[in-house]
Structure 1
Amino acid sequence: MSSPYELVVRSRRAVTPEGERPAAVAVRDGRIAEVGAYDDPLPALETVDLGDLALLPGLVDTHVHVNEPGRTHWEGFASATRAAAAGGVTAIVDMPLNSLPPTVSVAALETKRRAAEGQCHVDVAFWGGAIPGNLADLRPLHEAGVIGVKCFLSPSGVDEFPALDREGLRAALAEVASFDGLLIAHAEDPGLLAEPAGPTYAEFLRSRPQDAERRAVEQVVELAAETGARAHIVHVSAAACLEPLRRAQRDGVRVTAETCPHYLTLSAEEVRGPAYKCCPPIREAANRDALWRALAEGVLIGVVSDHSPSTPDLKVPDFAAAWGGISSLQLGLPAVWTAARERGHGLADVVRWMAAGPARLAGLPYKGVIREGADADLVAFDPDAGFTVDVAALHHRNPVSPYDGHALTGVVRTTWLRGVPVDFATPRGRLLKGASR
């Protein structure tokens, strides 16, 4: 008889690639060794029977601003990864800004890795950055293990990470295509942006119109088609972007796109204060409905947080002056699930959008899925339990979030990283490189 598994987790609602079904998941050496029927006799050192609680694969969040080193008082690896684990996220990909230095060279990447080492409660991979003047750094960053490189087409909000113009974008895409890398873009056309005319949300929203996003998306699509590069549009907020994306995907252009929980669950009509400010902005409820349809259709391949925190003093006094960023890393799963179930979607849809899709984008095939050979990153999720968000109780470093006081449905009961429960005291996360383990 073979030695027993280290862990078996049983659930009548396990979400596998085949859909939601009763299953028993057996773990050996940190990986899923077997996915059997719920009542299969699988010998194990430990067995956890979740009953009717759902068993999900660990989510993958490919859009997180950790900010360490340099702005660790905004967020750091320890606090961000605790928040991730509490929200059922077992792998994040850190953005190349707003840390100091930004991740625009191999030396800066190594600085960031040293800062993260020994602090992470979930696995962490890294994006590099594409800025004016660092074209020669893109291939070395790829070879050093970044998931891809990010650029801005409009001001990023921090001086050390300037935007690319059209020729800079073309050059970066051509360079990335030469080694079949991935470029991701913050797509807003600076020529269509303006300073808000006043302090209100309506004035801020008018300063960043849908056409600014649409025009920038069209530019990325055009140059991706010209160069043959893989491109991805981050945090789509505007329904005006969806038809250009549909056309590009039908035409075989290698372009994908994501959206975020706040664009799917909040609306301009309910904005209450600067905690809701982000770029691009939260738009009207009718626009939100169009994003949901695009998710169901597959035009948008994932839902990721764009967790972009700051200290509370930067989120005041009004929409003209406040920092633009949403803190939501711990809350993405319940926020999306609350809205998804009201629209007739199931847990398998949420897993496709928040685990499998982002894992595929990041080239992490052993993440975001319950199947043999994958990492045993698992989440016990109570899909019927409700709670009211208290920002002071979150693991985020700073107690700022537009979800404060919102009633949400869905509670993470346990998060396992490679078969070991996250205890929020012992960092067991690994630093990932590209598609390697």
Structure 2
Amino acid sequence: MHERKIYSSRVWVDNQLQPATLSFANESITAIAFEKSNEAQDYGDAVIMPGVIDVHVHINEPGRTEWEGFETATQAAAAGGTTTIIDMPLNASPVTTTLPAFNEKLDASKGKMNTNVGFYAGLIPGNAGHLEDLIEAGVVGVKCFLTHSGIDEFPNVTEKDLDEAMPIIAQHNIPLLAHCELYDTEIDCDFDNHPTSYQHYLASRPKQWENDAIDLMIRMCRKHNCPVHIVHVASAEALSKIEAAKKEGLSITAETCTQYIFFNAEDIPDANCIYKCAPPIREKANNEQLKQAFVSGVLDFITTDHSPAPPNIKEMESGNLKKAWGGIAGIQFLLTASWTALKNTMSLEQFIPLVTSKPAAFIKSDHKGEFKIGNDADIVIWNPDEIDLVKPEGVFFRYKISPYIAQNLNGKVLETIVNGTTVFQNQSIQNKNKGQWLLQK
């Protein structure tokens, strides 16, 4: 196999950007030299770093492939510099709550993986007996909802369900990921009479729901000594709770998503459902605190929670936020939109681990997230200083419905290499199906 060498004055090695030549062959990194090799392709001062890892996406295959599928989702991921994604257990049909359903999903992904793909199992009422099989089959974590998921076949769990499942999950030392909102029927914000108002939608899912749910998960983590991961933290009020739990020594991790730091409620127009997600995008002052939580380490890494839907289900014509599917399509923009949102809060050196080594550690992947000899040759080459306008024709996911379209983003991806092969370059997909399953056995 031919060895390829690439050089830049900014290669991410040993937690710093420095001049280096990176060599790779047979899907692995073969050498790292801190000088310029004559045979190396010179990328100037473009950043060469490990491929981005997005541990929270909804691909919707099998069963809802008209929403998205592995083929388009992983092309979009690669176009954005992402080389590994972890797929959530819901939105596909069947939902991934039994071993046969998991095997169906594995079959559905064959021949369509343009990045590496790992999977979560789902926890729903009554399926605790299936978790052992799913964990042994290689899922990297288990996901549950504490409020209605939007998918009827994926109901939310109660404290009783958590008591049954968490000892099983704890035994295997994999994380239980929780969508933290605890529904309180007391909310009277008159959303019914203002279905196109973003401010009414925001009021309909208050921070208190998140805060209460996070309190519950911290308590359950303490009780069962089970690793807990809080997905898409949107309430800044919950940050002090997460920080205290970490200081106590509890096995708690937390993420937020690009949309919660890139957009602010004050700027979101009414009757535009592309911004609808749950929990909702909150106010600017709240979101500034989320950004600071990456600097302090209270939030561990960034994800997209890519959750696309066709135009009719997204209520693109009516603008009815009450009826619209809640989910933002953003798998292609984890790297560039997150850097755009955070570049005034932190250095590039502080930012890079949030999309590489930290998510790699979360999914216990020793071979990804940093450049070491023998590690997987998952690489992104990008220019963080170039401004790139997102145009619909440059979007690779299935429907060109996304709040990132028409945004100027800091960062342009030049090339994405998956397992040693160039998948994305010159704004197009060069080689298909170079991804592999990431099964934790």
Q: Tell me the TM-score normalised to structure 1 length.
A: 0.95
What aligned pairs does 1:9-408 form with structure 2 within 5 A after superposition? Answer: 9-40=6-37, 47-191=40-184, 196-197=191-192, 198-199=194-195, 200-272=197-269, 273-316=272-315, 317=318, 318-343=320-345, 345-408=346-409
Report the residue type matching 2:74 in the other structure: T
Distance in 1 (CA, whole Å) between partners of 2:339 and 2:171 is 39
> Which deviates more from structure 2 when the two are superposed, residues 366-375 or residues 199-208?
366-375
Distance in 1 (CA, whole Å) between partners of 2:422 and 2:414 is 10
Contact 2:11 2:47 in 1 (8 A): yes
Contact 1:235 1:259 in 2 (8 A): yes
Instruction: Extract unaligned runs of 5+ from structure 2.
Output: none
> Which deviates more from structure 2 when the two are superposed, residues 13-22 or residues 211-220?
13-22
Distance in 2 (CA, whole Å) between partners of 1:122 and 1:352 is 19
Distance in 1 (CA, whole Å) between partners of 2:137 and 2:152 is 25
Report the residue type matching 1:150 in the other structure: K
Q: 2:432 aligns with which of 411, 426, 436?
A: 426
Contact 1:181 1:230 in 2 (8 A): yes
Distance in 1 (CA, whole Å) between partners of 2:172 and 2:85 is 24
C-alpha distance 359-193 of structure 1, shift in aligned 2 (>3 A): farther
Distance in 1 (CA, whole Å) between partners of 2:86 and 2:313 is 24
Report the residue type matching 1:56 in the other structure: M
Contact 1:85 1:121 in 2 (8 A): yes
**Distance apart, 1:349 and its partner CA:** 2.2
**Secondary structure of residue in 2 paired with 1:185:** strand
Distance in 1 (CA, whole Å) between partners of 2:207 and 2:321 is 18
**Distance apart, 1:156 and its partner CA:** 0.1
Report the residue type matching 1:189 in the other structure: L
**Distance apart, 1:40 and its partner CA:** 4.6
Report the residue type matching 1:279 in the other structure: A
1:6 aligned partner = 3
**Secondary structure of residue in 2 paired with 1:314:** coil
Distance in 1 (CA, whole Å) between partners of 2:61 and 2:14 is 35
**Secondary structure of residue in 2 paired with 1:90:** strand
**Secondary structure of residue in 2 paired with 1:315:** coil
> Which deviates more from structure 2 when the two are superposed, residues 290-299 or residues 193-202?
193-202
Contact 1:192 1:209 in 2 (8 A): no
Contact 1:391 1:401 in 2 (8 A): no
Identity rate of aligned residues, in percent? Answer: 37
Instruction: Extract unaligned runs of 5+ from structure 1.
Output: none
**Secondary structure of residue in 2 paired with 1:416:** strand
Q: Tell me the TM-score normalised to structure 2 length.
A: 0.94
Distance in 2 (CA, whole Å) between partners of 1:174 and 1:258 is 23
Report the number of matched residues. Answer: 427
**Distance apart, 1:130 and its partner CA:** 0.4
Distance in 1 (CA, whole Å) between partners of 2:71 and 2:326 is 23
Distance in 2 (CA, whole Å) between partners of 1:265 and 1:350 is 15
Distance in 2 (CA, whole Å) between partners of 1:329 and 1:381 is 16
Contact 2:419 2:435 in 1 (8 A): no
Contact 2:419 2:434 in 1 (8 A): no
Distance in 1 (CA, whole Å) between partners of 2:35 and 2:275 is 43
**Distance apart, 1:192 and its partner CA:** 5.8
Report the residue type matching 2:387 in the other structure: G
Contact 1:310 1:398 in 2 (8 A): yes
Contact 2:54 2:334 in 1 (8 A): no
Distance in 2 (CA, whole Å) between partners of 1:249 and 1:17 is 26
Distance in 2 (CA, whole Å) between partners of 1:299 and 1:17 is 23
The superposition leaves residues 187-240 of structure 1 with CA deviations (integer Å, 9 ceiling, x where unpaired) of 101226858342111111001111100110010000111101011000111101
| Superposition misfits of 4+ residues, deviation over 4 angstroms | 192-195
Report the residue type matching 1:346 in the other structure: S
**Distance apart, 1:16 and its partner CA:** 2.2
**Distance apart, 1:30 and its partner CA:** 1.2
Distance in 2 (CA, whole Å) between partners of 1:170 and 1:391 is 46
**Secondary structure of residue in 1 paired with 2:398:** coil
> Which deviates more from structure 2 when the two are superposed, residues 258-267 or residues 4-13?
4-13
C-alpha distance 179-283 of structure 1, shift in aligned 2 (>3 A): same
Contact 2:48 2:381 in 1 (8 A): yes
**Distance apart, 1:39 and its partner CA:** 1.9
**Distance apart, 1:367 and its partner CA:** 1.2
The superposition leaves residues 369-422 of structure 1 with CA deviations (integer Å, 9 ceiling, x where unpaired) of 122221111111011211221234300101100112111110000001122100
**Secondary structure of residue in 1 paired with 2:382:** strand
Contact 1:67 1:98 in 2 (8 A): yes
> Which deviates more from structure 2 when the two are superposed, residues 178-187 or residues 93-102?
178-187
Report the residue type matching 2:268 in the other structure: V
C-alpha distance 347-5 of structure 1, shift in aligned 2 (>3 A): farther
> Which deviates more from structure 2 when the two are superposed, residues 367-376 or residues 396-405?
367-376
Distance in 2 (CA, whole Å) between partners of 1:366 and 1:144 is 20
2:410 aligned partner = 409
Contact 1:84 1:329 in 2 (8 A): yes
